[in-house]
Amino acid sequence: MLDARLRPLIDPPLNAVGRVLAGAGVTANALTFTGLALGLGGAGAIALGHLGWGLALIIANRIADGLDGAVARVRGPSDLGGYFDIVADFAFYVSIPVAFGILSPANTLPALVLVASFVLTGVSFLAFAVIAGKRGATTEAHGKKSFFYSTGLAEGAETIAVFIAMCAMPEWFGGLAYAYAGLCVLTVIQRSAMAVSTFRD
């Protein structure tokens, strides 16, 4: 919901750093895997009870995720890079609720519900992208991407905001997880309605 609106604010500084990194020989895939390692490290820190470190590594993951796209825009995007990027994103997204589930047994059920909602959201997102791509649809609302990005209520910005809130207020994890899982389900419904409208023959 917020991703497309944030792009005009975050793209200029990311692109500036991306040009420097690309000039130094850094590749987008290297940044993607670095970001994944940082994100999974953040999940590990949360699981061990080090929420401050977890939060710091979550933020570092998002910076690396933004920079891989900036470098790709300089060096030229690739289908393989797009594949690695989306897989790394969802691996990171799933790891955080799992980490909170490990942190406390009371978090297990809400973490499971949240992970299930992420799976549903991811499936709807990728299915829409495949069919939109098959039909030749294009959009740059989220910047230049390797495949079609459909807009939804729950996107990257909202997910990171929820993760930050969970790290800052771990005692509210259950409520936050259930609420955000509900938003993810609404996103699936919204995207399905958009699919009915867009793909109707």
- C-alpha–C-alpha distance, residues 199 and 117, integer Å: 24
Evaluate whether 115 touches 97 at the Cβ level (below 8 Å). Answer: yes
**Percent of the chain residues topping a pLDDT of 70:** 89
Domain residue extents for the chain: 3-199
Lowest mean pLDDT across 31-45, 68-82, 109-123, 124-138: 124-138
Using the 8-state DSSP alphabet, how is residue 105 labeled?
G
- The arrangement of secondary structure in 3-199, i.e. its CATH architecture, is Up-down Bundle (1.20)
Q: Dihedral sign, CA of 30, 10, 154, 180?
A: positive
**Mean pLDDT across the stretch 109-122?**
96
pTM of the model: 0.87
